[in-house]
Structure formats: C-alpha cells, structure tokens
Amino acid sequence: MTLRISQILDPQGQSATLRLEGTLGAEQASLLQRHCDELVAREIPAITLDLAELRFIDEESGAAIRRLRETMNVTLVGCCLFTQEVIDGGVKA
C-alpha cells in the first residue's frame, strides 16, 4: 500500500495542509499521526487534511483520522461519501 503525504504551510505559519494521495492503511495512519504531532509541536494552530486524492481507507485508519479530528481539531476537506462514512464509523471498509 502506498501513501503520499504532501505538506503545505501558509507563509505566516498559522496553518498547514496535509494532502493525502493513495491508500491509507494502519502503517500509513501511524505516519500521518507523526506528521500531525510534529505540526502541533511546531505550534501550527490549524491543520487540514485534504483527502480528495485518497483512493482507499480502512476501518483502522478511519478511526485514526477520527481521533485526529477530535483530539487535535484537524479539519477534513475533499472527502468523498465513502471516505466520510469510514471516518465516521458508519461503513466497514
């Protein structure tokens, strides 16, 4: 499974967008968690996950993104219906 994470910081350092492309499984979800932890450690106040190019997400990864959304106040954009349902816990991947 392959995942590409592109990080885009705004010039003032007030927000960051992580663009996810490919497949998000358990191992990749751990990598995503580390990226978010690093942004929080750098005191970036607003983190957005752009999921428009995400092609697959499993239940475990959906739960990981749900935790990021709830504990770090991460914003999600570009979710297709299936991805949103997996993240919300309504669909078994």
CATH number for the domain spanning 51: value is: 3.30.750.24
Mean pLDDT of the chain: 92
Is residue 34 in some structural domain? yes
State the amino acid at position 20 in one-letter form. Answer: L
pLDDT in tens, 12-43: 889 999 999 999 998 999 999 999 999 999 99
| Cβ burial, residue 63 (10 Å; 0-12/13-18/19+) | middle
pLDDT at residue 90 tops 90: no
**Total domains present in the chain:** 1
pTM of the complete model? 0.89
Tell me the residue range of the domain where 60 lies.
Answer: 3-88
Is residue 93 in some structural domain? no
pLDDT at residue 88 tops 60: yes
Measure the CA–CA gap between 47 and 36, rounded to whole angstroms. Answer: 8
